[in-house]
Chain A
Amino acid sequence: MKSEKPFSDDAVQIEQNCGGLSRRAILLTVGGVAALAAAPTAQSISERPPTASTGRVRLVVNGKPHELDLDPRRSLLDVLRETLDLTGTKKGCNQGACGACTVLLNDRRVVSCLTLAAMHDGAQIRTIEGLEANGELHPLQTAFVEHDGLQCGFCTPGQIMSGIGCIAEGHAGTPDEIRFWMSGNICRCGAYPGIVAAVADAAKRA
């Protein structure tokens, strides 16, 4: 076995630094993580002592503080979906390749399947459930409906969170720029033209 730690320090550092902005950086990180996770043989895993310990993690999700006892292996995505029952954020691939689980972590977009909640004690998380204000949709939510930037709707929460990040980063100046900076979010129904139109429209209003 290569290491007793689930992650190399480098991998953690890269992931913390990239904050989800670079899909390539994330994929590189995940490549390392996946390799480590898959490396031990079945027997070597079962011979290890059980790791049932939990850790205390504080997260502020959509403005609401939570103090949670978490399995250190639990991804931010599974904390949202399984611990907090915030199922608006979707698990599409659990491999960091589809973008369906995109949330804002301290205002930066990340794929929440690839980051462990335990790494983000004290973080501010914003999910699709936290966008409406006083019963009013966020302008990007409205734009997605108006431009029909969705079909099945499964990638939509991730697309919208990513779109908010894209606009905030100043990457929504032209349709081509939006296409590039929204390419980490796959839409298998092929609603891309509507997604680009929605992000462009909301960027103008922002």
Chain B
Amino acid sequence: MTTNVIGKPLPRVDGRAKVTGVARYAADFNQPGQACAVIVGATVGLGRVTGIDTGPVEKMPGVIAVITHRNAPRLPYAPHKSYIDPATGERLHVLQDDHVRFYGQPVAVVVADTIEQAERGAAALHISYTPERPIIDPADAQALPVVPEAGKQPDARLPADTARGSADSALADAPMRVDEIYEIARENHNPMEPHATVAAWNGNRLTLWSKSQFVVNEQAEVAAVFGLPSENVQVICPFIGGAFGTTLRTWPHVTLAAMAARQVARPVKLVLTRKQMFFMTGHRPRTLQRMALGATVDGKLTCIVHEGTGETSRYEEFMEALTSVTTFLYSTPNVRTRYRLLPLDIGTPNHMRGPGEASGVFALECAVDELSYKLGMDPIDLRRRNEPAIDEGENRPFSSRSLMKCYDLAAERFGWSRRSPEPRSMRDGRLLVGMGVASASYPAFHAPASARARLLADGTAEVEVAASDMGPGTYTSMTQVAAETLGLPVERVCFSLGRSDYPPAPSHGGSWTMASVGSAVRAACLAVQKEAGKHPQSGRPIEAIASSQRDPDAAARFSMHAFGAVFAEVAVDPDVGTIRLRRAVGAYGIGRVVNPRLARSQCIGGMVGGMGMALMERTVLDSRDGRPVNAHMADYLLPVNLDIPQLEAHFVEELDPHVNALGVKGLGEIALVGMAPAIANAIFHATGKRVRASPIRIEDVLTV
């Protein structure tokens, strides 16, 4: 493929719409005659609703309806699961019974003419409960881990147990050992845009302007819940104000918006409050991990034991790739991984940027760093010494792996050679300075996708896919792929997404949009060109739909992952324990880069997210009732502008002909993975204090 447009650092094609306020997000689709709905959440963490005094609220000005489990329609809730939903368990059926399964679970909806009236009605609604004691804390003696049902088969995508060699006996015999426990805090995605749905019925047809990273699945899910044919539901979402995984699933508030709109026979807008986003729409699960490494005295890894447990709800088994990277990141003959779930009285967690990998790699890469100090060896040298030639977990070659090239490039840009190896040996005035590194990895996924391309008589082209753009630049990159394939200038290509009646795309997550949707766009453009060849100068629009998926032969032959190396420098105030990230450099091998300007932004954004994971983000639950005590954007700490220094993202040249025809691997997730352990390792280097729990806080380093 010649590259005229792919690889160019074009500015965003939707940039003007976004800087002028013209770009419309779900809650911006005000409909004529629209009413407002506000969800009332349970104020107990477990139990039953015993009374709801709807009378006084129904009489309040502007209130149209108060919907509770007592008067809500019994919905069909036909079985429906996509790969994005937990394989085991059943989704929450909202307002169908009196059970309260977690704090904040919707127990009523107030619908009114205006937002103020609905909010006031919601605040005034008196509900009584028979509360029970919820189990919230993973350390609670009554919290018992289970083997995830969907991981029991050895060929499961996320197997509960894997083993090669004899890791435990190798660990017992190892001359050098690290064996530690790592804890990752519960995090919330906190995209800037709250979840929102505007629902409007026309007979038995439903239109949802709704925040979604997976419009075709939202269509299928809502159709199943209401017992409608799928084609009766249309989901529209042209812009997403950030999501990071939280809108991959369709949550109960979408059902409530549609239910309310049907009940009051008007369009209804329902926007979650920021507080509700802390318990109603998933979170990165809290995890506990044991990571044990055995090595020879000259730094050859002899074994890895990785045992991880993640929290889930009582009603669904949410699984993530917590232990996956451990099986292939290093060369070692003996590896054992074990993944368990801990059902608690909480809402179901879900995928958050780098789901599983971010938490698992934190443990692995901090442990490798610990080993390097025990060995007195440079942490990059240790990794180089254990760099595998193939994926030893799957016993097949990588389609490409540029990890050491990433280290070489980033080490040079960062100035790693200026680091003195001893902890506490570098200072800047009073401040302790530390430098740390970590590897990053994320699978190069590719899901089946389809696209429609249309050539118009005026020499322009339209391309449509039911894909999404939560910020990485799908609009721009797909325009580039289409322009390149069709041989048109980008100004002549109009790419549209975010409608469930467009050709279906996979979920906008897992870093697979560029690979999957990009390949489909390319296929559709090639198909429409072929079609045009049959009807030269017809004067009418020419259209073609095509789909694409990964070459099954390549998929069988190769292990496909992106790799990266992240370097961080921190300064720690030895007197008051404040930790500042001073700079960071990441280098990534992600196959072909379609748009370096946008890719760089996406990587830097991921590094900012990783910084939040390392130093700030933690949703704290009150153990008495599961209430998040910091459900506020000023109390759930997030990186702000002043927290972020100069960050650099670089890409190594990597040609991978196996992953897909475009040669792209995706970079949304890997950009976050690796940052948090690099910072944790830098903090150890600065202070000599090893902190094995995220986020690393002032009190953790105060005693240095």
Determine whether the beta carbon of B19 is less than 8 Å from that of A27. no
In-complex Cβ contact of B609 among A94, A97, A179, A190 (8 A)? A190
The answer to whether B289 has its CB under 8 Å from any CB of chain A is: no
Say yes or no: B14 contacts A190, CB within 8 Å.
no
Inter-chain contact A95/B21, CB cutoff 8 Å = no
Chain A residues, CB < 8 A from B241:
90, 152-155
Binds A, one of B252-260, B495-503, B569-577, B638-646: B638-646
By beta carbon, the residue of chain B nearest A154 is B241
From B60, B124, B192, B634, contact of A155 by CB (8 A): B192
Complex CA distance for A74 and B472, rounded to whole angstroms: 35
B-contact 0/1 string along A79-102, CB 8 Å cutoff: 001100111111111111110100
For the A-B complex, the count of residue pairs with Cβ-Cβ distances under 8 Å equals 203
What string of 1s and 0s marks CB contacts (under 8 Å) between A101-123 and chain B? 00000000000000000000000
B472: chain A residues at CB < 8 Å are 151
A69 sits at the interface (CB 8 A): no
Q: Is A190's CB under 8 angstroms from B639's CB?
A: yes
- Asked whether A193 lies within 8 Å of B604 as measured between CB atoms, the reply is yes
Are B634 and A27 in contact (CB-based, < 8 A)?
A: yes
Are the C-beta atoms of A141 and B20 separated by less than 8 Å?
yes
B632 contacts partner chain A, Cβ-Cβ < 8 Å: yes
Interface residue ranges of A124-170 to B (CB < 8 Å): 127-129, 131-132, 137, 141-142, 144-146, 148, 150-157, 160
A82 touches B644 (CB 8 A): no
Among candidates A52, A156, A193, residue contacting B19 with C-beta atoms closer than 8 Å: A156
Alpha-carbon distance between A93 and B273 when the two chains are bound, in angstroms: 7
Contact A186 B640 (CB under 8 A): yes
Contact B471 A179 (CB under 8 A): no
Contacts of A178 in B (CB 8 A): 641
**A201 at the B interface (CB under 8 A):** no
Binary per-residue interface labels of chain B (573-597) against chain A in the complex, 1 for a CB within 8 Å, 0 otherwise: 0000000000000000000000001
Tell me whether B115 is interfacial, beta carbon within 8 Å: yes
In the bound assembly, the distance between CA atoms of A74 and B115 in angstroms comes to 9
Q: Among A71, A145, A157, A191, point to the contact of B21 (Cβ < 8 A).
A: A157
B242 close to A183 (CB less than 8 A)? no
Give the nearest-CB partner of B672 in chain A. Answer: A190
Residues of B within 8 A of A154 (CB): 25, 191-193, 239, 241-242
Are the C-beta atoms of B27 and A91 separated by less than 8 Å? yes
Listed residue (B60, B114, B241, B470) with the most chain A CB atoms within 10 angstroms of its CB = B241
- Using CB atoms, name the residue of chain A closest to B640: A183
Q: Is the CB of B633 within 8 A of A97?
A: yes
Which residues of chain A have C-beta atoms less than 8 A from B598's C-beta? 148
One of B16, B470, B473, B641 near A192 (C-beta < 8 A): B641
Known contacts: A132-B20, A148-B597, A152-B240. The answer to whether A98 contacts B639 by CB under 8 A is no
A185 within 8 A of B: yes
Q: Is B605 in contact with A98, judged by CB distance below 8 angstroms?
A: no
Find out whether the CB atom of A50 lies under 8 angstroms from the CB atom of B61. yes
By a CB distance below 8 angstroms, the chain A residues around B62 are 52
Contact B124 A179 (CB under 8 A): no
Flag whether B30 is at the interface (Cβ < 8 A).
yes
**A155 surroundings in chain B (CB, below 8 A):** 192, 241
Check: A78 CB closer than 8 A to any chain B CB.
yes
Is A182 interfacial (CB 8 A cutoff)?
yes
Q: Is the CB of B605 within 8 A of A150?
A: no
Within B586-629, the residues touching A (CB, 8 Å) are 597-598, 600-602, 604-609
Q: Does B489 make an interface contact (CB < 8 A)?
A: no
CB neighbours of A74 from chain B (8 A) = 114, 116
Cβ of A73 under 8 Å from chain B? yes
Asked if A195 CB lies within 8 Å of chain B CBs, one says: yes
Q: A71-B116, A152-B241, A190-B607 are in contact. Are A92 and B194 (CB under 8 A)?
A: yes
Q: Which of A167-206 contact B (CB under 8 A)?
A: 178-180, 182-196
Q: B15, A191: Cβ atoms under 8 Å? A: no
Within 8 A of A (CB), among B260-296: 271, 273-274
Q: How far is the CB of B581 from chain A (nearest CB, A)?
A: 12
- Note all chain B residues with C-beta closer than 8 A to A3: none
Task: Give complex CA distance A187, B642 in Å.
Answer: 12
The answer to whether A152 and B16 have CB atoms under 8 Å apart is no
Given A150-B19, A188-B638, A190-B606, are A91 and B271 neighbors across the interface (CB < 8 Å)?
yes
B634 touches A95 (CB 8 A): yes
Interface residues of B in 48-69 (CB under 8 A from A): 56-57, 60-62
B471 touches A189 (CB 8 A): yes
Contact A46 B126 (CB under 8 A): yes
**Do the beta carbons of B192 and A187 come within 8 Å of each other?**
yes
- Chain B, Cβ-Cβ closest to A196: B641
- Is B556 engaged at the interface, CB distance under 8 Å to the other chain? no
A contact residues around B550 at 8 Å (CB): none
Verify if B24 is at the interface (C-beta below 8 Å from A).
yes
Which among B21, B191, B194, B646 is the interface contact of A87 at CB below 8 angstroms?
Answer: B21
| Pick from A94, A131, A153: contact of B14, CB under 8 Å | A153
Complex CA distance for A145 and B470, rounded to whole angstroms: 17
The winner among B22, B125, B243, B640 for most chain A CB atoms within 10 A is B640
Given contacts A42-B124, A88-B21, contact A183 B15 (CB under 8 A): no
A88–B22 contact, CB under 8 A? Answer: yes
Q: In the assembled complex, which residues on chain B have CB atoms less than 8 Å from the CB atom of A190?
A: 604-609, 639, 644
Contact A150 B18 (CB under 8 A): yes
Q: Contact check: which of B21, B473, B633 meets A151 at CB < 8 Å?
A: B473
A156 to B14, CA, bound (A): 12
- Is A45 an interface position by the 8 A CB rule? yes
**A152 B632 Cβ-Cβ under 8 A:** no
**B350 at interface, CB cutoff 8 A:** no
Note all chain A residues with C-beta closer than 8 A to B641: 178-180, 182-183, 185, 187, 192, 195-196
**Does B190 lie at the interface of the complex (its beta carbon under 8 Å from any beta carbon of A)?**
yes
A192–B20 contact, CB under 8 A? no
List, in ascending order, chain B residues with CB within 8 A of A93's CB: 194, 274, 632-633
- Closest Cβ of chain B to A112, distance in Å, is 13
Task: Beyond the given A87-B28, A189-B601, A194-B601, please list 10 additional residue pairs across the A-B interface where CB-CB is below 8 A.
Answer: A87-B21, A95-B274, A141-B16, A141-B19, A150-B18, A153-B241, A180-B641, A190-B604, A192-B640, A193-B644
Sorted nearest first, the 5 A-B pairs with minimum C-beta distance are A88-B21, A154-B241, A190-B608, A153-B18, A151-B471
Of the A-B pairs whose beta carbons lie under 8 Å apart in the complex, a sample of 15, sorted by A's number, is: A45-B120, A71-B114, A73-B120, A74-B114, A82-B115, A87-B21, A89-B21, A98-B192, A151-B605, A154-B241, A156-B18, A157-B19, A179-B642, A188-B242, A188-B609
